[in-house]
Each structure stands twice: as C-alpha cells, then as structure tokens.
Structure 1
Amino acid sequence: MIREVTLRPVEDADFDALFEFMRDPESVRMAAFTAQDPDDREAFEAHLRRNLANPDTTNRVIVGDGRVVGSIASFVIEGDTEITYWVDRSVWGQGVAGRAVELLLREVTTRPVHARVASDNAGSRRVLLRAGFEVVGTDVGYANARKAEVEETILKLG
C-alpha cells in the first residue's frame, strides 16, 4: 500500500518507466484515448519531449513511496486548461491518482480546469468527482486503444 505520494518534474531517467506504464494492455484499454501504437517508443518519446518543451504544460511524475508510479500533466487545448494522468496498474485502488490530482491542482491554479475520461472508466471518473470536478457533458470520439468510437465524459472544476 502506497503511503506517500509526491510530484516532481519529469526527468529523462523516467522515460523507461513511463513508457512501460503507458503500454500495459489493460491500462491502455481502460484509458481508451491513447497513442495510436502504445509500443512505438520513438513516437512516445517525441510526444513527451514536445510536451516537456511546451511552456503551456506542466508535466510531473507521480512518486509513490520513493518510486515512479505514474505521470500527471496539465495542458492548454483550444483555450481550456485540462489535466490528464496515468497511474501504474500495480498501484490502482491505493489512492495514488486522487492524491496526485490534489497535488497538481495546488500547483496549477488556473480555473476552470477540465478533464476527460472514457465514460466506462469508473475509477478515473470517481477520482475526478472526489477532487471536486463536475460532469458537464459527454462527447464521442475515436479511441485508438479500442479501435472504435467511445463515449467520454467531460468534467470541469470551478
């Protein structure tokens, strides 16, 4: 059970762990809206480096009890600030995502802030609702992980 959760900036040494988390088949299916090919390391690294270089993003690794257990970020898309996160499946259900969201929201004070989650991803939806987000709508989009149109829930925090 993870007792301490902290955030820190992403370092090059984190890339291997983050890549492995983001290609876990069960995690990919749950997230739905993922990279076209989760096994493409070159595309993963290029995408991450672009995000790290973008001054409108805040990228952090999630550290649980001293080891990297995920990532969390905020970014601006079409003028709206959004957050996204990915937690290693080995620590699901231990409060890691909720604590990471709480910590990021202390750092990123822009409001409103939005989030999107595959509507059938009950765990992630619950994390966001507990953090104070409210459901403001739904959308349907193509989800690479499922190779199908998938409904996503759109949430907003004040």
Structure 2
Amino acid sequence: MGVSLRALEDSDLPIFWQQLTDSEVQQMAAVTRKYHYDRGHFDRHWSKVRSDPSVILRTVLADGAVAGHAAVFGPPAEREVTYVIGRAHWGQGIGTAALTELIKLEPLRPLHADAAADNAGSIRVLEKCGFTITGKSRCFARARGEEIDLVHLTLR
C-alpha cells in the first residue's frame, strides 16, 4: 500500500469530520475535544489550525484515498505529534508510515505524544517511529465519560 502525505485541501475536511465523529475512533482516542462533536467548533478549529504557520499539518493518503491527517504543533520546546486514521484504514500500517514521514518534516527534538494507556495500536505506532514511554498520568476522557490512564511518549 502506498502511503503519502500532502498539504490539506478543503475537500479533505468533510472526510476528517466523518472520521472524528466516528464513535469507535472517539472511543479509541478517548481524549476528545468539542470539535469532535460540534460542526461549528470543528470548522473554527480547522480554520485556526490551518492559519497557524507553526503547525505542520498533512493529509494522509493511502493509495490515493484520504485515510486521515497528521500534525506537529506547539511551541518549540514542547512540540507534539497527533494523527487520526479513519477506522476503515486501521491495521494496515498507514499510521506508522504517515508518522514516519511526518516526523521527517520537523527537525526539532524532542517531540511528544500522548495516548490512552489501553490504545495499544497507537502506542505501537509511536514506538515503531522511535518514541519511548516517558510517563503516565490520568485525565478525563470525554469520549468515555470517565478518568483514564494516559501514556506520555517522547522522541529524542
């Protein structure tokens, strides 16, 4: 499968909305924001993200189809990675391939990431890309309606 990254296009946003509002994607991610549930918040969030020159934002393509998105954001000393792969594309190595390409675009280290402690797939993707677990905490997971364990990972 050919996985690549490209600049986000307006036509990607309806697909991202479908992916972010998928209840299984929300359960897996656990820590969700208002823009995962409300189209107005979604539109404002993406407008803000797209206008921030410090954010590296890419659409993830799998064999030419939009499979998700990936980004690097935050101040220089606290850069974080995030990615969402639509459920139809899970288990195919797309997340690992996309994150591998994304981190090549950001020269600053360390890079940080968080994942629900029970999200073995996301933790595995991050570890395959060189991230190591550097801490744990608890936080409220809106998608699950409860406190969960969160794993912090770092790429040095």
Asked whether the two chains share a fold, i.e. TM above 0.5, the reply is: yes
Q: TM-score range by the shorter chain?
A: over 0.9
Q: Is the 8 A contact 1:36 1:145 kept in 2?
A: no
TM-score by length of structure 2 reads 0.96
Q: Which has the higher helix share?
A: 2
Unaligned 5+ runs, structure 2: none
For the aligned residue pairs, the C-alpha RMSD in angstroms reads: 1.3
Residue 147 of structure 1 aligns with which residue? 145
AA aligned to 2:62 is G
TM-score by length of structure 1 reads 0.94
Q: Give 4+ residue runs of structure 1 displaced > 6 Å after superposition.
A: none
Report the secondary structure of 2:34's partner residue. coil
AA aligned to 2:5 is L
Identity of aligned residues (%): 36
Unaligned 5+ runs, structure 1: none
AA aligned to 2:86 is D
**Distance across 2 between alignment mates of 1:99 and 1:42:** 31
Q: Report the alpha carbon displacement of residue 77 of structure 1 after superposing the two structures with TM.
A: 5.2
User: 1:23-60: CA deviations, max 9, x gaps?
Assistant: 11111000011123633111111111111111221111
**Distance across 2 between alignment mates of 1:70 and 1:79:** 26
User: 1:60-97: CA deviations, max 9, x gaps?
Assistant: 11011011010000001594000000001011010000
Larger deviation, residues 72-81 vs 87-96: 72-81
Larger deviation, residues 67-76 vs 47-56: 47-56
Q: Report the alpha carbon displacement of residue 108 of structure 1 after superposing the two structures with TM.
A: 1.1
